[in-house]
Structure 1
Amino acid sequence: RFSNYIAWLGNPTNIKPSAQIVWPIVGQEILNGDVGGGFQGIQVTSGWFQLWRASGITTEFQLYVTALGGLLMAALMVFAGWFHYHKSAPKLEWFQNVESMLNHHLAGLLGLGCLGWAGHQIHISLPINKLLDSGVSPQELPAPHEFLVNRDLMSELYPSFSKGILPFFTLNWHEYSDFLTFKGGLNPITGGLWLSDTAHHHLALAVLFIIAGHMYRTNWGIGHSMKEILEGHKGPFTGEGHKGLYEILTTSWHAQLA
């Protein structure tokens, strides 16, 4: 077998995660230990098993498909990098528009990234982990997409799903406290943070970053200007020390690479 991941899913605190076997060469197989789940190997301490469980991955086939998806995205990004620097390179001033870069990175990369991850945790990870924590075997779990399309299934686990998005628009946000929690402490089943706490955390971060992505001045005369902030800062020891720093950071390739 490749690993004891499936067995570990059902008992993550007593079974040690392992996905590495030392081959019997010159007696090196002595490094293999009984980690539980009917498996002998070296214990994994990187936290990958915990990350996969928190993502809602319950089979090795899902891991395989995830790896293929990551490989495809990596190839796509390599092509995009080659295209935008060798075939359709942007103008130099594109790299000097720091306010636009800040807005896009804060709102797009961090804000929408956190929002997407919070959505995945709420709609996929939370129901799967709740069933796993209840003792349901990984082989008996519904397919992940069923939690997306079957509201009745989700409502059995989290009753507020039956109310849809009405509590959101009526500002009755406390209705969602069954899956967006603030418990603190650790889940005794897994020994990790409560997944409903981390989903709440990422949703809150998404709101903060999306708001922060509208702070800096771009096409209209509202918002902050980095040049004005730097040159307006006159400390007791630096004096005019920040004057010219904006130009250095926006025109120096060395500064941008650093």
Structure 2
Amino acid sequence: MHDVYSTGGSNTAVVLSYSGLYNYLYAAGYRSCFQIYHTSLSLQLFSVLFILIGRIHVYNIEDLFAWSGGLGSRSHEWRIRLYNICFDSSGLRLNYHLGALFGLSSICWSGHLVHVSVPFSRGLDYSLTTLPDPLGLYPMFVGHWAHYTHTCLSFIGGVKSDTASLFMTDIAHHHLSLGVLLIWSCHVYSSISTGFGHRIRDIAFGNGSGSGVSLILASIHLQLSLALIGLSVITSVVAQHTYSLRPYPFLSYDYVTFTALFVHHLWISSILMMGGFAHASIFLVRDYSAATYTSTTDLILRLILNKASIISHLSWVCLFLGFHTLGLYIHNDSVVAFGEPEKQILIEPVFAQVLQCSSGKTLYGLEYVQSVSTTFDSIFLPISSGDLIAHHAIALGLHVTSLICIKGSLDARGSRIMPDKLSYGFGFSCDGPGRGGTCDISAWDAFYLAFFWMLNSSSWILYYFHWKHLTLDTNAAVFNESSSYLNGWFRDYLWFNSSSLIRGYDCLGANDISLWAWLFLAAHLCWATGFMFLISWRGYWQELVDIILFMHLRCPLLYDLWTGGYYTPIALSIVQARFIGLVHFSVGLILTYAPFVISSSS
């Protein structure tokens, strides 16, 4: 055990990384490097096997029939039809994924927790001959199922006081119940026996979206869009549960780790969601044909026909949030600047406090199980007026991002100012004022603009999360007093917590923050480089640098090395320059915030 969670065989555990991986290994029952090594090797072998098996799903049934037709014989047709039944049937594939893949895996993981993790957490050694319960399966056969709630399958709820995590027996019970439900659900869709279960097309027609199945099967971009959006939602839920309902023991004792995990998952969730909207636009431009369907059977066509009402509703929501939130911030900043902070407009989140009180928040009179030692757990955060205005600012960013993405996707096929946009494709540059101005109206331009709003919105969420938890166990009054006006965020959060990075190198030499200080500066350079491509659309700076390089290569010393046919200075197009600028800006912003979080939290 010491060789995994400590250095040099010491008896004290150490934090080797901020990934939370060791908390997961500890919860899963790993106690030696030997176990970790064999598990890693087994997973690599399984991944190679799954890649080979995944090739089966790549081949479509039409491709196989076309291949068999070239053989000049129909003797292979029955094999292809059998292949279609076993592998390419969507109902059978869903049943298999629900039952065998998700359900059986969940039950197997529950068994691992019961037989390995729970005994290890109680100080027992794992053994195939040692039962997790002294009575074995006897209580199950005689109907005394409640007996297992005390040993291996509990339903306690809440957080364990010493580890500040969910009860391991609760997690095992959850996975067992979920696995049973998923195995039951694997008979929902009809597969080999068409008389048993439901056809996917019938379910879709019953919901008024009969064309959805054929669209999904015919368009790889729509499949990718739905997959990215689904993964984005799942990743966002994981980010929220990282700090509220932690499944891994002792995770909340290390503030840097669970903050880094939240930041990591939030960025992934945001980028995946943007990718989902981008591929939805590409689907509407390249793969969708409105002439094939009617508004009564096609959900996507109904969305396109009613896009005006959808966009207008989102617009007034964004305007309401923007004017009220920014107006409050401007007013509060103004009165604080004039030395009269008592004149701020502070609105208490009464409804949220009532919900917290009914859920058992200690601050409001009721109590819940608190950790024994000092941790950074936050099932219910005490909230104030600064939280209310911060949440409304975050809502503004999320709604504006959604507005731009939805408008760009629904207008990807054509708009009032440019009805023939479909023939221009997903992304195109300005073509001047001849058409009344067609700049910034392609689906790519909407994605480009929404990406900046996504970066800003995610930054606001991270600022709020980080500062709220940073002051939770030290001085919560700092957040309550300074979060109601913008200058408080700039001064007491960003500038104050940057002091450790500023002192990464000082007159006394380097320290443990020096690496993060250099990364902070390097990421700022990457972020600032993006403006060279964003401010001048056609890559003026890139062309200038190329011309300087051209002149140096034309000097007599290097004249013989230069051939004009190899390289000619030319500016980027608008689309290319914006893409390069967006990449520099995004990478710089994300990598700038990472050392800030680690240095200010450690």
The bucket for the TM-score relative to the shorter chain is 0.5 to 0.7
| 2:202 is the counterpart of 1:228 | yes
Q: 2:165 aligns with which of 185, 192, 209?
A: 192
Q: Which moved more, 1:169-178 or 1:201-210?
A: 169-178
Q: Which residue pairs with 1:170 in the alignment?
A: 142
The 1:186–1:172 alpha-carbon spacing in structure 2 relative to 1, beyond 3 Å, is: same
The alpha carbon displacement at 1:213 in A equals: 1.0
Q: Please give the residue correspondences for 1:1-258 in structure 2 after superposition, counting only pairs within 5 Å.
A: 5-6=5-6, 17-19=14-16, 44-81=17-54, 84=56, 91=61, 93=84, 97-131=89-123, 142=125, 144=126, 146=127, 148-151=128-131, 154=132, 161-177=133-149, 178-218=151-191, 219-234=193-208, 242-258=209-225
SS in 1 for 2:172: helix
The alpha carbon displacement at 1:163 in A equals: 2.6
8 Å contact kept, 1:98–1:250: no
The 1:192–1:113 alpha-carbon spacing in structure 2 relative to 1, beyond 3 Å, is: same
The alpha carbon displacement at 1:226 in A equals: 1.6
C-alpha distance in 2 between matches for 1:209 and 1:254: 28
8 Å contact kept, 2:3–2:33: no
The 1:51–1:169 alpha-carbon spacing in structure 2 relative to 1, beyond 3 Å, is: same
SS in 2 for 1:149: coil
The alpha carbon displacement at 1:164 in A equals: 2.4
The alpha carbon displacement at 1:56 in A equals: 0.4
The 1:4–1:189 alpha-carbon spacing in structure 2 relative to 1, beyond 3 Å, is: farther
SS in 1 for 2:122: helix
SS in 1 for 2:105: helix
C-alpha distance in 2 between matches for 1:247 and 1:85: 17
SS in 1 for 2:197: coil
The alpha carbon displacement at 1:108 in A equals: 0.9
8 Å contact kept, 1:4–1:18: no
Sequence identity percentage: 31
Q: Which residue pairs with 1:239 in the alignment?
A: none
8 Å contact kept, 1:111–1:209: yes
Q: Which residue identity is paired with 1:104? A: Y
C-alpha distance in 2 between matches for 1:209 and 1:130: 30
The alpha carbon displacement at 1:85 in A equals: 6.9
C-alpha distance in 1 between matches for 2:19 and 2:41: 21
8 Å contact kept, 1:96–1:251: no
Q: Which residue identity is paired with 1:210? A: I
The 1:255–1:169 alpha-carbon spacing in structure 2 relative to 1, beyond 3 Å, is: farther
Q: 1:96-145: CA deviations, max 9, x gaps?
A: 522112111111111001000000000111000111xxxxxxxxx63x3x
SS in 2 for 1:111: helix
Q: Which residue identity is paired with 1:164? A: G
Unaligned runs of 5+ in 1: 20-43, 132-140, 155-160, 235-241
C-alpha distance in 2 between matches for 1:170 and 1:216: 35
Q: 1:186-216: CA deviations, max 9, x gaps?
A: 2233221110110011111111111111111
The 1:164–1:101 alpha-carbon spacing in structure 2 relative to 1, beyond 3 Å, is: same
The alpha carbon displacement at 1:172 in A equals: 2.2
8 Å contact kept, 1:100–1:216: yes
Select the structure with the greater relative contact order (CA < 8 A; seq sep ≥ 6): 1
SS in 1 for 2:163: coil
C-alpha distance in 2 between matches for 1:253 and 1:245: 13
C-alpha distance in 2 between matches for 1:106 and 1:99: 11
The 1:166–1:49 alpha-carbon spacing in structure 2 relative to 1, beyond 3 Å, is: same
The 1:4–1:99 alpha-carbon spacing in structure 2 relative to 1, beyond 3 Å, is: closer
Q: 1:59-88: CA deviations, max 9, x gaps?
A: 122112211222222232234345x479xx
C-alpha distance in 2 between matches for 1:230 and 1:90: 22
8 Å contact kept, 2:157–2:170: yes
* Number of residues of Structure 1 aligned to a counterpart in Structure 2: 198
SS in 1 for 2:43: helix
TM-score of the pair, normalised by structure 1: 0.66
Q: Which residue identity is paired with 2:24? A: L
Query: What is the root-mean-square deviation of aligned Cα atoms in Å?
Result: 2.9
8 Å contact kept, 1:249–1:256: yes
The alpha carbon displacement at 1:227 in A equals: 0.8
C-alpha distance in 1 between matches for 2:113 and 2:47: 23
Unaligned runs of 5+ in 2: 63-83, 226-602
The 1:81–1:211 alpha-carbon spacing in structure 2 relative to 1, beyond 3 Å, is: closer
C-alpha distance in 1 between matches for 2:199 and 2:57: 28
The alpha carbon displacement at 1:16 in A equals: 6.5
Q: 1:230-258: CA deviations, max 9, x gaps?
A: 11224xxxxxxx23222222333443444
The alpha carbon displacement at 1:166 in A equals: 3.0
The 1:225–1:181 alpha-carbon spacing in structure 2 relative to 1, beyond 3 Å, is: same
Q: Which residue pairs with 2:424 in the alignment?
A: none
Q: 1:155-202: CA deviations, max 9, x gaps?
A: xxxxxx233223223332112112111112222332211101100111
The alpha carbon displacement at 1:4 in A equals: 6.4
